[in-house]
Amino acid sequence: MFSERWLCFCCPPMHKSPRRTIVAPIEQNPIQPESRLQLQTSRLSNRQKQKSELHLAAVVIIQTWFRRRRALFEIRRKTAWTIYQNIEYAGEQNQLKLYNFFLELMQTVSKNPRDATVAAKVLRRSSSLSGLAEELELKQLTSPTIINVESSYQGPHIDKPINREHFEALILAFQRGELLHAHYVLLILHELRHILKNLPNINIVSTHQTTCVTVVGDLHGSLADLMIIFHKNGLPSNENPYIFNGDIVDRGFQSIEVFLLISVALIVYPNNIYLNRGNHEDHVLNLRYGFMKEIIHKYKSHATRLLHLFENIYSWLPVASLIDDHIFVTHGGISNITDLTIINQIKRQKYVSVLSPSFIIPPNEDEFQIGNIPNDLLLEWRQILDLLWSDPKQSDGCEPNTYRGGGCYWGPDVTNDILEKHKWSLLIRSHECKEEGFDYTHDKKVLTVFSASNYYAVGSNRGAYVKVITNQPPLIVQFVSTKSSHKSLTLWERVSHVEEQAIQNLLEKFSVNQNRLIREFAVVDRKKTGRISINEWCDIVSRVLNLHLPWRTLKSRLVQTDSDGSIIYESTFRFKQLQVTLSVPTSERRTSLCQAIYRNKDLLETVFRAIDKDNSGVISMKEFTDVCVSLGHHNGTKFDGKQIMDLAASIDLDKNGVIDFNEFLEAFRIVDITDHFDDES
């Protein structure tokens, strides 16, 4: 019925193409084996090209990440380095301002130009030996025969003549942590002094026989660094000469051992071992930076004899060395007035302390006037001061070194003038810690070498020494001393550790100056919002702490900010690290007093040790009386014996007849309380 096919007239007809019959092709031209191999090779080449492009992209990404990471490390390390240097140099400035602090502390000296010498009078040591009587007195006080060696002593023994076997025995003993008996220390120091007295102001060094000489920079009591230098470069000998360029002592805990080893080397090889004086070879610096404390701790009852002898030995140390007539080696540097003719004529033994030279206070001080000091004497003093304290700068000129408080800054023009004047080719100096252990400046005419590694913290810097070889450029050798118990640190760990220690030191400054900072912040914050601008915060912190640091970079580690970018200044003292530094909460007045004592602790300890002339660890009534009489004389106030004894008794809390350091601090606290009440009234 429906056999017919229905078609739709509204749609166009559809034509279905017939099904094609698939017939397998017959290979008429098969691919040859050679062509197949070429095709496979082409495909493999394309794959390798794609992989190479992928590897190259990965390398670029990794390099970009690494460079950014390295740049971040460098910023963090430089910031930490700046913190360390600012705190260190601020400490040296404080030491040079010690005399003014002492006057303010006692509040007895009137504002008179002549009275500026009173503190130096209080801290002054006996002048350098100029007469037979003083020479005999020193020998009697410091003679080794005065001290007997106990039968129970198990350390190394030294006898005359001192030889290389003694030197090697001392090295082994010091590495084992043994302490040399005071009898032998005095014996070595007297032998050293005898040699030094016959040396010129400038050592004359030649490499024509030995072909080279090794220059070692600041060691600062680091026995580990000295041992590494001896291990890498060989022990001192006539064939292996050394120049030790000052700052042997202070800061480190083994200054006496380092100084004794170098002294014995000089005694055994007097014609090939040279020792220049540094700015820390000065009893005024030793008062603060640890060497005096180390001697008192290690030698107790014999400390006075040792300190007197060390002070005198410092004055006999040469101030520079000249290698092959064209390489000048000195601790600090030069200035626009540096003149070898003047330096060679100076009687260096007068300068027991370069910071407080004896001519500042003549024997008849009642007739003293500053204007009476001859210009040639001041020029002579400047020669010594500049050699030991100066630093190079990038710009031309010569100006006072206000950063350290002593010496000068000299520029490339001064270097060129002085080197040309004396026909030198290179100036080698130390005095500054460098991250790599060395640094060239002034078109490679000034080389700084620093030999104490890990100076600020573990990983903070490398140490270095320089080998001066005949007719060759200087060879610089770098090293880092690490204790066997410490694993080697990665770059990240090293930078993080250094940064952490630097921030901790900086937070300590915030801690002891908390009340002063809060007062300054409150003056700016008139509306009591607890917030100030970044500029105001940076200015106040820089002024109060007296540290010129990149505060904008550091603010994220020290303080919190609000959404507007303003500084929440009280947040600094809520930081976890700072809470560890701060003591438990106490009353506001007690906190202020603790901060005042802690802020001035180093200076107070320096003053205490200066008054303690016999280095007994306590101030006797005679020492206290001498200070009171001296200060009273210059202030016009006459103290009678009863007044002085009453004052001493009020400080001597345990009534044992002497004043120890804790009682000295307590007296300062009481004075501070009185001043506080006076201010309130």
Backbone angles phi, psi at 452, to 5 degrees: -100, 105
Token pair 């080719």 in the structure block, residue: 425
The secondary structure element, H or E, covering residue 204 is strand 202-205
**End-to-end CA gap in the chain:** 130
Give the DSSP letter of residue 221.
T
The rounded distance, in Å, linking the Cα atoms of 95 and 401 is 14
Q: Decide if 280 is catalytic.
A: yes
Dihedral sign for Cα 512, 517, 518, 520, please: positive
Burial class, 469, CB count within 10 angstroms (exposed 0-12 / middle 13-18 / buried 19+): middle
Residue listed under structure tokens 């016999």: 614
The rounded distance, in Å, linking the Cα atoms of 669 and 18 is 115
User: Catalytic residue among 166, 220, 280, 634, which?
Assistant: 280
Q: What is the DSSP letter of 476?
A: E
**Contact criterion met (CB below 8 Å) for 455 and 464:** no
Structure tokens at 354: 């370069």
| Closest to 354 (Cα-Cα) out of 132, 92, 606 | 92
Give the span between the Cα atoms of 295 and 290, in whole angstroms.
Answer: 9
* Nearest C-alpha neighbor of 555 from the set 546, 542, 544, 543: 542
Closest Cα partner for 445 from 407, 465, 418?
418
Q: Are 277 and 310 in contact (CB under 8 A)?
A: no
**Backbone phi, then psi, for 576, in 5-degree steps?**
-60, -45
Q: How many whole angstroms from its chain centre is CA 32? A: 80
Beta bridge pairs of residue 560? 568
Ranges of H-type helices in 525-575: 534-545, 551-558
635: left (phi over 0), alpha (psi -120 to 50) or beta: alpha
Residues 6+ apart with CB under 8 A from 340: 202, 422
What span, in angstroms and rounded, lies between the C-alpha atoms of 221 and 213?
22
Helix (H) or strand (E) segment spanning residue 608: helix 601-611
CA angle at 627 for the pair 622 and 630, rounded to the nearest 5°: 120
Paired with 215 in beta bridges are 243, 466
Please give the positions annotated as active site.
Answer: 280
